[in-house]
A and B are shown apart, each in its own frame.
Chain A
Amino acid sequence: ILNVEQSPQSLHVQEGDSTNFTCSFPSSNFYALHWYRWETAKSPEALFVMTLNGDEKKKGRISATLNTKEGYSYLYIKGSQPEDSATYLCAFSGNTGKLIFGQGTTLQVKP
């Protein structure tokens, strides 16, 4: 069974703080690493799909890096805002068509 681990499980920060989360995944048979943002009472929405070792992607104040050789990805949020409060999910895609999700990191940003 392939495991995708995310840490921390939850995080409380003040508005304006910068923060980062970790996603660990199997380093073999790697095809892609996905990041999704999931707000309460909504559906998950894609942030990034990363495929190459050393990849860095950015969307506004959110960025992500990828290390496929050691099997980890970091998601960074610069200057957190209350609207960034959500659960952030990562998912590993191997060569099987399956997408395996981590349990998520729940971020709460206090005004």
Chain B
Amino acid sequence: EAQVTQNPRYLITVTGKKLTVTCSQNMNHEYMSWYRQDPGLGLRQIYYSMNVEVTDKGDVPEGYKVSRKEKRNFPLILESPSPNQTSLYFCASSLSGTGTYEQYFGPGTRLTVT
């Protein structure tokens, strides 16, 4: 089944404790992206990747890191999480980064930082 998977689905952590949210897709998509969703603010793009070893900042990259060492995986790293990073996070992928292909979203990761 074609899908985007994220782990963990739910995470409660404390300020400053490094964490990684994994994202994997099995559709051989070139483009992958991370979004956060906050009430009243819609989906905001954190980082995106046009292909392996190519990553770029989205609109809200501060406090996050990403890497794209393999085509299928695009982990999101929070080196020192803070309470303002409490949010619902979505990973997505699409066939290419031209913007003319639909994005497939993962199930979401709800992160709480206390």
Question: A residues bordering B, Cβ < 8 Å?
Answer: 1, 31-32, 34, 36, 43-46, 49, 51, 89, 91, 93-94, 97-104
User: For the complex, what is the distance from the CA of A33 to the CA of B56, rounded to whole Å?
Assistant: 21
**7 new A-B contacts at CB < 8 Å, known A89-B42, A101-B35:** A31-B100, A43-B90, A46-B103, A49-B102, A98-B45, A98-B59, A104-B42
Question: B residues bordering A, Cβ < 8 Å?
Answer: 31, 33, 35, 40-45, 48, 50, 56, 58-59, 90, 97-108
Complex interface: chain A residues within 8 A of B106 (CB): 43
**Given A43-B105, A100-B59 in contact, is the A49-B100 Cβ separation under 8 Å?**
yes
**Given A43-B90, A43-B105, A43-B107 in contact, is the A99-B99 Cβ separation under 8 Å?**
yes
In the assembled complex, the CB of A16 is this many whole angstroms from the nearest CB of chain B, namely 29
Nearest 8 interchain pairs by C-beta: A93-B99, A46-B102, A43-B105, A103-B42, A101-B43, A31-B99, A97-B97, A32-B99
Instruction: Point out the residue from A49, A103, A104 that lies within 8 Å of B101, measured CB to CB.
Output: A49
User: For the complex, what is the distance from the CA of A103 to the CA of B106, rounded to whole Å?
Assistant: 19
Complex interface: chain A residues within 8 A of B50 (CB): 97
> Is the Cβ of B105 less than 8 Å from the Cβ of A45?
yes
Nearest chain-B residue to A6 (Cβ)?
B42
In the assembled complex, the CB of A88 is this many whole angstroms from the nearest CB of chain B, namely 12
> Is the Cβ of A44 less than 8 Å from the Cβ of B40?
no
User: For the complex, what is the distance from the CA of A98 to the CA of B59, rounded to whole Å?
Assistant: 9
Nearest chain-B residue to A2 (Cβ)?
B59
Complex interface: chain A residues within 8 A of B103 (CB): 34, 36, 44, 46, 99
User: For the complex, what is the distance from the CA of A93 to the CA of B45, rounded to whole Å?
Assistant: 12
> Is the Cβ of A44 less than 8 Å from the Cβ of B56?
no
Nearest chain-A residue to B96 (Cβ)?
A97
